[in-house]
Amino acid sequence: MKRLSIIAIHMLVSVLLLMPVLCFWGCTPEDSDRIDIAQALSETRGTDCFDRVMSPRPLTFPEDAGPHDTFRTEWWYYTGNLTTDTGRHFGYQLTFFRQALSCDPVTGTSQWRTRQLYLAHFAITDTRNRQFHSFSRMNRQSLNIAGTRSDPFTVWLDDWQVQQIDTTGSNLVMEAAASDISLSFTLVQTKPPIFQGDRGFSPKGPGKGNASYYYSLPRLLTHGTIAIGEDRFQVEGHSWFDHEWSTTVLGEDIQGWDWFSAHMEDGRDLMVCRIRKADGTPNGFGFGSISLSDGTYVILSETDMTLTPESFWKSPDTGIRYPLRWRIQIPDHDLDLHVTPVIDHQEHTHAFAYWEGAMRFTGNNVQGLGYLEMTGY
Amino acid sequence: MVSPVLIRISLRHNRRHLLRTLLLIFGIAMGVAGVVAIDIAKTSVEKSFDLSTTALVSRSTHQILGADLDIPQAVFTMIRTRLGIHESAPVISRHVTIPELEDRVFTLMGVDPFSETHFRTLPLGSENRDLSAVMTGSSGVFIARTHAETFGLEIGSPLTIALGDRQITVTLAGFLEGRDTRSNLVLEGLMVTDISVAQEILDMKDNITRIDLILSSQDTAADIQAHLENGMFLVETDQQNLAVRSLSRSFENSLTAFSMLALFMGIFLIYNTVSFSVSRRHRLHAILRALGTTRNDVFFTVMAEVMLYAVIGAVCGVVLGIVMGTAAVQAVTATVSEMYFTLTVGQTQISGGTLAKGLVAGVGTSLIAGLFPALAAAGTRPVSLMHQSVSEHRSQRMIPGLFLLGLIILTAAGLLMRAGHDHAGYDFSGLFMIFFGTALLTPLIIRMLVRVLLAAGSRVLGIMIKMALRNITRSLRQTSVLMASLMVVTSVYIGIGVMTGSFRQSIVQWVDDHIGGHVHVSSADERNPSLDPALVEKISRLPEVAAVSAYNIHPVFSRAAGKVHLFSYQSNQSKNRWSWTAAPEPALGALLENGWIFVSEIFARQHQVTPEQGAAVVLETRQGPISFQIAGIFRDFFMGGGRVVMSRETMARYWGHDDITAMQLFLENEVSVTPVINTIKQMLPPGSLIRLRSGTDIKQSILAVFDNTFVITSALQVLTAIVALTGILNAVMALLLERTREIGILRACGTLPGQVRRLLIHECFFYGLLSGIMAIPLGIALSWILIHVINQRTFGWTYDMILSPGILVQALVLSSAAALAAGIFPALAAGRTRISQALHME
């Protein structure tokens, strides 16, 4: 899983979703205290009628690649590390969230009526220039301004999009542009999906329904162009993709999580995550997976791994202190990795601040590049 | 520095003539009040326009609009997903009336909350909950908290939106509440909701009103334009606002000019009063000069005195102006709303600038008016102490020269007005020059008129009357200024009287020509104004109906005017009165069938159509911009950006409308209207939104709107008259009271008090009569200018001048009566003159 779940969902998405609604249309920062957002949000209607993730079920494609509108929240998440042929490194993130406003059926005749909202984040990390470019967009699903299709798989919001270009679904194109930053990639699936948890049923807490359906495409061969201002860079590398949906994924008393993914040079791909309670301790439902070079994979649980923050960085923008350097130990797989950011400042400071950025993974006998996401700090 | 002693002497002098001093101050105050009041009205319209319109497009640089006043919503998807223009927002916007809120007009704005961040600030109050419901299915709307509190509405209260007679019930979902006064004012004119709700309320199907954009480069603009289908176009927001705003600009400028006219009258007044006051103190100044006071001292003493009254008058004027302005705002914004564009926010704007303008205008013009008398006073030579008539002799010699100068100024005025500048200021400058030029002609004309009267009446006229007439020419230096003022006032009275009379008569004529049917049938459903063709057919076949005008009216977008109305007739009984035609009238119908169009005068002006062969205008149609040839320009008083008449085929081909939205029924002779209306009522299906009105009813309501338009102009006319009459009263009093010595001599020679009184009364009567006579040609010229130059440029319509003898007689009576009234008090006082006192200087 990942990402932005709880708070992601409950705060990030919702705050972003509802903020313009709350300050109706065109909020200025001074207006944001006009209304208690969390309070307004807690009164979102009709959550009872959403489907919940209660038990494992077989995930099938292409159907499950598309949207699951009967669940409250869903995301399609791409992150990757790329380099030019001269070795210049870039990280990127393009993520799409779907949030349902209500589970009641839409009434009215206008095609603008909808209960689905989409939020997307797009970021480029320019390692050499130590620059981090981050953009956010949000819109309703109406009139195909935003949406998802399962066959051929497409997810888009405005002109940011990922689209399947073959019949098998293993070749995709990705386009996103904002300001004078853009990317245009082709992604090729090189390993079969990892069905996280129990065949894609990924518990996140002890409560009933505190789970999500979750699968990953661990290694997408990625090549294309990144443009920053007038400069264009031909790049190549690997991307990680997650698709996850749920309704009440996180229980109460959850503060946030730390999620890591890495493409190791020996062909293994790693994902680990811990979920933190309000007191900062793990809730015991940490999860992960290791995908081997032949595409087979092993599911990890919290007891298989140790995640230790080693040093902190304080954001000059938000004042939030994030643990940016980590040690990840997975003894059963002989992994003892030191994780460091390619640059420190990879914090998204939109309506909800979180840190997500490109990382270097250095181990006893292996190294790789990946991503780290931290929320709730 | 002026000696305080001199100032005190002046003030003491004025205290003895308190009434005249007060009249002087009153006159200045009235002049300033006019300027301030109109400026307040103008800046308030500006502010209201800004709050009603500009604030709502706020940060957008461009807009995508449709020829038909809406565009397909799919364009927005294209803008976002294909062109990737993130700073874009779909908008549905329309004026609606809310019966529960005292029939106030609101802009119903449907917006997409997620696109709004870049454009508008529409903050919600803290109790707004369950907002997502508005997007997913409810019909919730948001209005300003102030309205909700005023009318006792709570969240969940039902509200009715009226679109004509169609009523749609919505729910109050929450409050709009800004952080500051300005944002709250903007919100007052708004009813905001999600775009989906607005689309359903207005039954717009898959259309929206416009897309707001923030574009940083012309390349992007060109790219967008290239992607738009025919019937849609990109406009620059500022230019579009200007086009709409310009509709009423001339009207407002004309008001300013009228207010300046009042102040101009004030200059006459101040000049009169100060110069009388100075000449009255001729002896005093001569003595002071003999005692060693310098020219400068005398000059500055007079100027200081003028300054003092100017400041008092201007301050009083500003205060009065604020009171009058607050009242004027109502009238002016109502006119602008009815005639040009809807103002949903009525805001009285009293700026420091306005008040400063009033003060500067009052003090500045007073000082200018006081300049010549002050120079004259400073030029007083001690030796002239005993030679009072020196200056009068000099003045008499100047009369031919003045006449010549007057002619030159009149010629210059004519040239200025012919030049055809679009700004009302030029026309009014020309008008001032005409007044001034004519005023310079008056001494010679008066002398000639008096000679004619004396010659013609040498046997008939009594000695007192002859004396009175000769007295007028004897002191022409002073009487001519007075009579010129009276002439100007009277001519303004005639001019405006003839203008409004002619205008009203033209409106009546126009109404009869265009909407003269006995019964009017129209749809009262603004959402869908088409009449059922079967019903049209059935009504047309009624035995009582002799003839039918059936037409469709559709508002469409125009770059130059924002909105214009297209008319096409299925059957037409109306008569156009042409300003210009490309062909003889019988041939015009054929041109129409060939796709030519007729345009109204307002349209022609707004679109800069010149009346010439082959003139064409480009209109935005569903097929893109199309050039139409103009067959004729007709006189029209239809409001807004003007209208275009075309054939049904043209309308259907380029705008896709081929329905009937209204019909007029002309009844057979001796059929009364009410039974026919009742018969039609019975033919209507239940709940039908068809409005039936009698021709008389319609005519009255149209005339009421136009009468309202002239309320403010008439008020300014009255103000002008008050200022000028105050001046005349003052001047006559000064003139007569100054003649103590002369009257003393008359009395010493045996004239009875009653004879003195009669002499003065006769004099005053002749001031008035002669001024009135002179005012008639000037008044007629003025009304011609007002109708054919100023009105045409201000409102864009022409009409014929209709001169009634009544108004001319009224003018003569007015000027004579005013002068007589002014003379009564001084005449009575003169009758009481004690000989010894009057002559003790001898």
d(CA A185, CA A162): 9
d(CA A213, CA A242): 11
Whether B438 contacts B484, CB under 8 Å: yes
* Mean pLDDT along residues A33-38: 31
- Amino acid found at A283: N
Phi-psi region of A200 (alpha: psi -120 to 50; beta: other; left: phi over 0): left
User: What's the confidence (pLDDT) of residue A31?
Assistant: 37
Q: CB B812: neighbour CB atoms within 10 A?
A: 18
User: What's the confidence (pLDDT) of residue A27?
Assistant: 39
User: What's the confidence (pLDDT) of residue A106?
Assistant: 85
- DSSP annotation of B344 reads S
| A 23-82: CB under 8 A from B | 23-28, 30-31, 34-36, 40, 43-45
Query: Is B479 within 8 Å of chain A by CB?
Result: no
pLDDT in tens, B741-760: 788 888 888 888 888 888 88
Vertex B619, ends B616 and B621: CA angle to 5°?
Answer: 140
* Nearest residue to A152 via CA among A140, A168, A136: A168
Is the ipTM value over 0.90, yes or no? no
Token duo for residue B564 = 């214009």
The beta-carbon neighbor of B199 closest among A112, A137, A145 is: A112
User: What's the confidence (pLDDT) of residue A226?
Assistant: 98
Residues in chain B with CB shorter than 8 Å from the CB of A158 are 80-81, 84, 86
Whether B634 contacts B506, CB under 8 Å: no
- For chain B (842 residues), the mean pLDDT of every run of 10, in chain order, is 73 76 84 86 86 79 90 95 92 91 89 83 71 77 89 90 87 85 82 92 93 90 92 88 79 74 67 70 79 85 87 93 88 82 83 89 84 81 60 75 92 83 72 87 91 86 85 82 85 84 86 88 82 90 92 87 88 82 83 91 86 85 91 83 91 91 90 91 84 89 81 75 75 74 82 86 90 92 84 75 88 88 82 73 50
Q: How many residues can be counted in chain A?
A: 377
Whether B684 contacts B523, CB under 8 Å: no
Q: Are strands B104-111 and B190-194 parallel, antiparallel or unpaired?
A: parallel
Q: CB B792: neighbour CB atoms within 10 A?
A: 18
Provide the shortest C-alpha distance from residue A101 to chain B (in Å): 6
- Amino acid found at B379: G
**Does residue A263 belong to any structural domain of this protein?**
yes
User: What's the confidence (pLDDT) of residue B840?
Assistant: 65
**Does residue A160 belong to any structural domain of this protein?**
yes
Whether B226 contacts B79, CB under 8 Å: no
Residue A278: domain span = 6-374
pLDDT in tens, B307-345: 888 899 999 999 999 998 888 888 888 888 887 788 888
Say if the Cβ atoms of A113 and B196 lie within 8 Å: yes
How distant is the alpha carbon of residue B549 from its chain centre?
Answer: 34
**Does residue A126 belong to any structural domain of this protein?**
yes
Strand partners, B571: B550
**Does residue A211 belong to any structural domain of this protein?**
yes
In chain B, the residue whose alpha carbon lies closest to the alpha carbon of A34 is B126
Domain residue extents for chain B: 1-59+231-388, 69-225, 403-417+442-515+697-842, 525-688
pLDDT in tens, A340-362: 999 999 999 887 789 999 999 99
The beta-carbon neighbor of A34 closest among B126, B192, B196 is: B126
Peptide linkage before B123 cis (omega within 30 of 0): no
Helices B463-474 and B476-514: crossing angle in degrees, nearest 10, is: 90
| B 169-198: CB under 8 A from A | 176-177, 179, 192, 194-197
In chain A, the residue whose alpha carbon lies closest to the alpha carbon of B201 is A110
Q: Which residue has the higher pLDDT, A321 or B239?
A: A321
User: What's the confidence (pLDDT) of residue B290?
Assistant: 83
Residues in chain A with CB shorter than 8 Å from the CB of B132 are 18, 21, 44-45, 101-102, 115
Residues in chain A with CB shorter than 8 Å from the CB of B81 are 144-145, 156, 158-159, 161
How distant is the alpha carbon of residue B722 from its chain centre?
Answer: 19
**Does residue A235 belong to any structural domain of this protein?**
yes
User: What's the confidence (pLDDT) of residue B10?
Assistant: 75
In chain A, % helix, strand, coil (3-state, to 5) comes to 10, 50, 35
**Does residue A98 belong to any structural domain of this protein?**
yes
- DSSP annotation of A282 reads B
* CA-to-CA separations, B801 to A11, B446, B496, B783, B784, in angstroms, rounded: 73, 28, 11, 8, 7
> At A101, which CATH number?
2.40.370.10
d(CA B411, CA B434): 9
Vertex A22, ends A17 and A27: CA angle to 5°?
Answer: 90
Strand partners, B478: none
In B217-345, where does DSSP find H-type helix?
218-227, 237-280, 282-290, 295-339
d(CA B172, CA B839): 85
* CA-to-CA separations, B278 to B15, B473, B794, in angstroms, rounded: 15, 21, 41
Provide the shortest C-alpha distance from residue B689 to chain A (in Å): 23
Residue with tokens 């006043």: B69
Token duo for residue B654 = 């380029």
d(CA B605, CA B250): 12
Peptide linkage before B584 cis (omega within 30 of 0): no
| B 98-157: CB under 8 A from A | 111-126, 128-133, 135-137, 139, 142
Number of Cα atoms under 13 Å in the Cβ half of residue B71: 29
Residues in chain A with CB shorter than 8 Å from the CB of B73 are 111-112, 143
User: What's the confidence (pLDDT) of residue B842?
Assistant: 46
User: What's the confidence (pLDDT) of residue B267?
Assistant: 67
Whether B104 contacts B190, CB under 8 Å: no
B contact test, residue of A25, A45, A102 with most B CBs within 10 A: A25
**Does residue A1 belong to any structural domain of this protein?**
no
* CA-to-CA separations, B142 to B113, B116, B127, in angstroms, rounded: 13, 15, 12
Token duo for residue B295 = 């020219």
Say if the Cβ atoms of A22 and B120 lie within 8 Å: no
Provide the shortest C-alpha distance from residue B108 to chain A (in Å): 15
Q: Which residue has the higher pLDDT, A283 or A125?
A: A125
CB pairs below 8 Å between A and B: how many? 148
Domain count, chain A: 1
* Nearest residue to B813 via CA among B769, B759, B764: B769
* Nearest residue to A264 via CA among A346, A189, A336: A336
